[in-house]
Structure 1
Amino acid sequence: MKKYLIYIGLVLLGVIIGKFLLSTSFSEENNHEHANTKDAKTEFWTCSMHPQIRQTEPGDCPICGMDLIPAEAGEGGLSPNQFKMTKNAIALANVQTLVVGGGENQNSDVSLSGKIVENEELNTIQASYFSGRIESLKVSFTGEQVSKGQLLATIYAPDLVKAQQELLTASSLKESQPSLYKAVRSKLKLWKLSENQINQIEKSKKVKENFPVYATVSGTVLEKMVEVGDYVKQGQGLFKMANLNSVWANFDVYENQISLFKIGQTIHVKSKAYNGETVKAKVSFIDPVVDPITRVIKLRVNLLNKNQKFKPGMFVTGKVESISKDKKESIVIPASSVLWTGKRSIVYVKVKKEDPIFEMREVILGNKTGDNYVILKGVSEGDEVVTNGTFTIDASAQLQGKKSMMNHSKIIQEVISVPEEFKKQLQTSYNSYIVVKDALVESNKLKANDGARDFNSNLNKVNMSLLNDDKAHKKWMELIKILKSSGKKIETVQTIEEQRTQFKILSDHLILAVEVFGIRETTYKQYCPMANSDKGAYWLSKEKQVLNPYFGDKMLKCGEVKQVINH
């Protein structure tokens, strides 16, 4: 009995020891698996406005101070042209998209802006047919309606007084010297005196000192060219008259639209003055010369205007329907979708409907139709194109080190010769930019605000009409939009970190402007490899000494001179 008790005790002891060992092993395995799972699911935190920020724990964004949010998984596997934004960033930037192809956006109508002017073919100058002094004017203001034969003015004409005396003398000798009599009457007719007027002078035997001037046409007085007491010469204009029963509508057509129009084409003309009432008219003339300042040509239509609804100077719009002849030109996107860099045009496409992943696409543009561009290559039917917030999308791509408008390829800038006056005006904006740069060196946000405000103000004073060269004009139009946008953001953002982010974009484009057009002094293009989250950033300086605007006194001397720009 005692022997059996010993066996039972040993069995129970073995069970207890085995259970303990198994429990320990299972616990260690569980802990090991839990640790692996935790490592595998290490969470990253990012900023909704600055997605390049990635931290392993929550906190504040080092750039703008906003609370960090969990970064979304699945960002791997993107191509160099693609990048992902957070939903919060998209909402804050008011990013809007449009699926292209086969929708209402494919409307090929072209809208034009124009102005009513008088029909020059019906304009006349009421001239004086003899020299003399204006004694009285019977038409006292412009806009007055005048009928043919109406008295316009009286003129004291010494030569006409002398000719009337000759008529009276010749009339007494007309029997003996008929040829002299006939010559004197013909002389008066050359001064536009009628047979009735000549007979009246001869019958009354009195010389008129102040001779009347009658309207030769009916119309509206556009300009009064003389005043009482003025001396006029024979043939000098007294009044400019217009027949407003027919007027012209002159529309502006840009160079890339010229091929869309032809003589005889129907245009629907509309004025806001009459609740959108539309009048159909035909194209009667297309100017063969492009205006060197505005870079447009004039397209003209004739409008019947018997009720004189259309007034010279009135703004009108014109619409031409279904102008596209090429069925392949079926993809149309809003002009707001397109960004330009040199000769390239790019757009951003949302590549996945459910995810905020964007891709940069280089496109070939066709004609501009109203506020839309026809796309010849680069976008297909069904693509979802960014239509609003394009600049913000591109800036985000730059900050993430992805291909963007400014860095998707190496751009070699061609120097374009421009007038010295344009360089002088660009120099003024450059001086304001230096104020912004110095303020960021000092980490002085308010001073940077003021400098950015002056920068935009001076930028608005740059006279684009000085750029007679088409290439120069196009390049400046590409740059000024982004210069104004980034300058405005420096003026309005909340933190100096945000100012420095926008300063990089401002610097990139001002550097292009200075390289292409030149300014009136030497400037230094400087570079810091650690700025822009270690992706590097450039800026301009008046001095060779490096003072870093991206870090201020934290890394004041970080950087080097990359180029001396001296046109």
Structure 2
Amino acid sequence: MKRNIIYIVIAAIVGLGVGYFLFGESNTETMEMTEHNHSPENGQMWTCSMHPQIMQPEAGDCPICGMDLIPADAGADGLSPEQFKMTANAMALANIRTTVVGDTEGDNDNTISLSGKIAVNEEAMAVQASYFDGRIERLNVNYEGQAIRKGQLLATIYSPELVAAQQELLTAASLRESQPQLYSAVRNKLKLWKLSDNQINSIESSSKVKENFPVYATVSGTVSEVMSSEGDYLKKGQPIVKVSNLNTVWAEFDVYESQLSQFKKGQKISIAANAYPNKTFDGEVTFIDPVLDNTTRTVTIRATLSNQKDMFKPGMFVSGKIESGLVTPQASLLVPSSAIMWTGERSLVYVKANGDEPIFEMREVMLGARSGDQIEVANGLDYGEEIVTNGTFTVDAAAQLQGKKSMMNKTGGKTMTGHEGHMGMLENNSSSDISGEMMKIKFSDGFQKDFEAALPAYLKLKDALVSGDAPKTSMDAIATLEILKKLDLSDTGAMEKAHVNKSIEMLEAIAKKEDLENQRIHFVILNENIVAIASNLDSLDNTLYVQKCPMANNNRGAVWLSTENEIRNPYFGDAMLTCGSVVKILK
């Protein structure tokens, strides 16, 4: 019995030894690998390319946007301190496009594109006035847009002065043989009051004085303004209606100060109207405004168009193409204007550093003259380099997220991330200046008052986007734009001007495109500037709520202003009407 027990114990010990030899080392390695894979102590963390604040110890999806996480150090391998990398997915979502820099011959068609409106030809405008004192008994022209012709009855006027003049005529007519000079003087007096020979002869032949005298149109055209009403007592020379002859109209365009050298009177211009997409109309520059608009830094140029068929309506949007008068050196580099980012003091582009990978770096450039949609780069770029021409602001946002040099951060360094940083600036009533330091924006009292006058129009624009009404959005953008263009920026700094000018640029884009998705894309950038200004006003007549939707702007988040605490999302409308929250209250 004892011998059997000893054999069993020996067999068990041998079995344990063989088992450890076969499996123990493998299990130890597995445990070590498990610890290696799951322990963050080895430094291998996973992050999101669009939300670098996300850090997880293992691969997976971003809890914010759902994108695949990447190794936290994967974007830094082999990159210089100024470079950063974007994922292919992020590039596709933001619709980022690049262009290889070419020369003048390859990239420029030497034409300038302009935007403008049809206006009334003021040279063909006439005012129909009363030539004698009297009361309007009947007004036959009583609404704007009414067509009238020369000789048409405009109004019937009772005039005691004219009654007396008619009595003088009848008396002078009876003395015509003995006092012809008196008779002639009385007739001339009535002619000066715009009575025709037929009217004067009619009074003589009837020998009756007319109490209510008719007034006839002296020109043909369209009524642009009714300036009197029935029952009004008119003084001599007081206007009754304003008449515009629309057989010719003006096409007026605004050109930037930097483009002035490229225009002169007599230049041919090709004009297109949204109402007639398949037609172009030829004209020539007939007038260049000698006074520069200090607010918009633009000058108005004008072309006169024939309008015999009433195709052009005053207020209609038109576009023009004109051959540039600029002669550029053959070696100059021209890039699309969409590639340039202006800070007020610097001009920037994003260069694709590696043609095979989405690696970018910011580059400061010196600009020359503008020719159409192209801008000359005098220094900072070389022929053959690849630059971002669409989605530039998205690339700039990625640079900010990764702590690289960017439009608002000249020196680089990660201080805040994404919209958290932006909203942090708003909540502290501050903004970043061109050098990346934090500073308080200061506005003059006149600027604050004028800017606040633009807020009701902006709020209507926001409500139109909530309703998903693209045409009304365009009209409200125009109304807001007209107010912002009148702001006095003479006492404001470069950062403040940059906010206003970028807002004007976005409103112009919203007004031109009646495409709801496109309008909402530009509304994102508009709000980044409008909210920054509103957050720095010293006082407001009404409380404003800064609201934010984390799902807007391709899940990067976007803000807007509202007078109500309740969320009404302008970026998604009915699809996600209540998505968002209040992040700041401006009282």
> Is contact 1:80–1:403 with CA below 8 Å preserved after alignment?
no
* 2:354 aligned to which of 352, 355, 369: 352
Partner of 1:376: 378
Displacement of 1:316 = 1.2
Displacement of 1:153 = 2.2
Partner of 2:547: none
- Computed over aligned residues only, the root mean square deviation of the Cα atoms, in angstroms, reads 4.3
Q: Which amino acid aligns with 1:68?
A: L
> Is contact 2:156–2:213 with CA below 8 Å preserved after alignment?
yes
* 1:180 aligned to which of 179, 182, 200: 182
More off after superposition, 299-308 vs 68-77? 68-77
Displacement of 1:219 = 2.0
* 1:319 aligned to which of 318, 321, 342: 321
> Is contact 1:329–1:375 with CA below 8 Å preserved after alignment?
no
Q: Distance in 2 between matches of 1:483 and 1:111?
A: 21
> Highest CA radius of gyration, 1 or 2?
1
Displacement of 1:125 = 0.9
Q: Which amino acid aligns with 1:419?
A: D
Local SS of the residue matching 2:209: coil
Q: Which amino acid aligns with 2:499?
A: L
Partner of 2:252: 250
Partner of 1:122: 124
The alpha-carbon distance between structure 1 residues 163 and 324, as it changes in their structure 2 partners (threshold 3 A), is same
Q: Distance in 2 between matches of 1:206 and 1:62?
A: 95
Q: Which amino acid aligns with 1:98?
A: T
Partner of 2:169: 167
> Is contact 2:83–2:360 with CA below 8 Å preserved after alignment?
yes
Structure 1 residues 264-303: aligned runs within 5 Å: 264-303=266-305
C-alpha deviations, 1:123-157, integer Å up to 9, x for none?
Answer: 11111111112222343443333332233222211
2:389 corresponds to 1:387: yes
Partner of 2:551: none
Partner of 1:479: 499
Partner of 2:207: 205
Q: Distance in 2 between matches of 1:333 and 1:245?
A: 41
Q: Which amino acid aligns with 1:359?
A: E
Partner of 1:48: 49
The alpha-carbon distance between structure 1 residues 188 and 341, as it changes in their structure 2 partners (threshold 3 A), is closer
C-alpha deviations, 1:221-251, integer Å up to 9, x for none?
Answer: 2223223322211111122112211111111
Structure 1 residues 187-266: aligned runs within 5 Å: 187-266=189-268
The alpha-carbon distance between structure 1 residues 206 and 469, as it changes in their structure 2 partners (threshold 3 A), is same
Q: Distance in 2 between matches of 1:74 and 1:228?
A: 78
> Is contact 2:131–2:237 with CA below 8 Å preserved after alignment?
yes
Q: Distance in 2 between matches of 1:46 and 1:135?
A: 82
Displacement of 1:297 = 2.3
> Is contact 1:266–1:280 with CA below 8 Å preserved after alignment?
yes
The alpha-carbon distance between structure 1 residues 170 and 387, as it changes in their structure 2 partners (threshold 3 A), is same
C-alpha deviations, 1:266-290, integer Å up to 9, x for none?
Answer: 1101112223311111101111223
The alpha-carbon distance between structure 1 residues 86 and 311, as it changes in their structure 2 partners (threshold 3 A), is closer
Q: Which amino acid aligns with 1:407?
A: N
C-alpha deviations, 1:470-489, integer Å up to 9, x for none?
Answer: 573863353369999xxxxx
The alpha-carbon distance between structure 1 residues 105 and 190, as it changes in their structure 2 partners (threshold 3 A), is same
Displacement of 1:49 = 3.0
* 1:418 aligned to which of 444, 452, 456: 444
**Count, aligned residues:** 434
Partner of 2:398: 396
Displacement of 1:184 = 2.2
C-alpha deviations, 1:529-560, integer Å up to 9, x for none?
Answer: xxxxxxxxxxxxxxxxxxxxxxxxxxxxxxxx
Q: Distance in 2 between matches of 1:81 and 1:127?
A: 71
> Is contact 2:48–2:54 with CA below 8 Å preserved after alignment?
yes
C-alpha deviations, 1:378-429, integer Å up to 9, x for none?
Answer: 2222211112333332233334333222332446779765235617968x99
Partner of 1:83: 84
C-alpha deviations, 1:107-132, integer Å up to 9, x for none?
Answer: 33222111112211111111111111
Partner of 2:144: 142
Q: Distance in 2 between matches of 1:242 and 1:473?
A: 43
Q: Distance in 2 between matches of 1:368 and 1:397?
A: 27
The alpha-carbon distance between structure 1 residues 373 and 46, as it changes in their structure 2 partners (threshold 3 A), is same
Q: Distance in 1 between matches of 2:285 and 2:337?
A: 26
Q: Which amino acid aligns with 1:270?
A: A
Partner of 2:96: 95
Q: Distance in 1 between matches of 2:398 and 2:247?
A: 58
> Is contact 2:324–2:371 with CA below 8 Å preserved after alignment?
no
Partner of 1:339: 341
The alpha-carbon distance between structure 1 residues 401 and 510, as it changes in their structure 2 partners (threshold 3 A), is farther
> Is contact 1:364–1:378 with CA below 8 Å preserved after alignment?
yes
Partner of 1:533: none
The alpha-carbon distance between structure 1 residues 337 and 253, as it changes in their structure 2 partners (threshold 3 A), is same
The alpha-carbon distance between structure 1 residues 104 and 46, as it changes in their structure 2 partners (threshold 3 A), is farther
C-alpha deviations, 1:304-328, integer Å up to 9, x for none?
Answer: 1222221222221111134432135
Local SS of the residue matching 2:287: strand
> Is contact 2:441–2:496 with CA below 8 Å preserved after alignment?
no
Displacement of 1:374 = 3.1
The alpha-carbon distance between structure 1 residues 463 and 226, as it changes in their structure 2 partners (threshold 3 A), is closer
> Is contact 1:46–1:68 with CA below 8 Å preserved after alignment?
yes
Q: Distance in 2 between matches of 1:314 and 1:279?
A: 14
Q: Distance in 2 between matches of 1:271 and 1:462?
A: 21
Q: Which amino acid aligns with 2:359?
A: I
Local SS of the residue matching 2:186: helix
Q: Distance in 1 between matches of 2:365 and 2:443?
A: 28
Partner of 2:69: 68
C-alpha deviations, 1:240-263, integer Å up to 9, x for none?
Answer: 112211111111223333232211
Q: Distance in 2 between matches of 1:240 and 1:122?
A: 11
Q: Which amino acid aligns with 2:356?
A: E
> Is contact 2:489–2:497 with CA below 8 Å preserved after alignment?
no
TM-score by length of 1: 0.65
Displacement of 1:46 = 4.7
Q: Distance in 1 between matches of 2:135 and 2:199?
A: 20
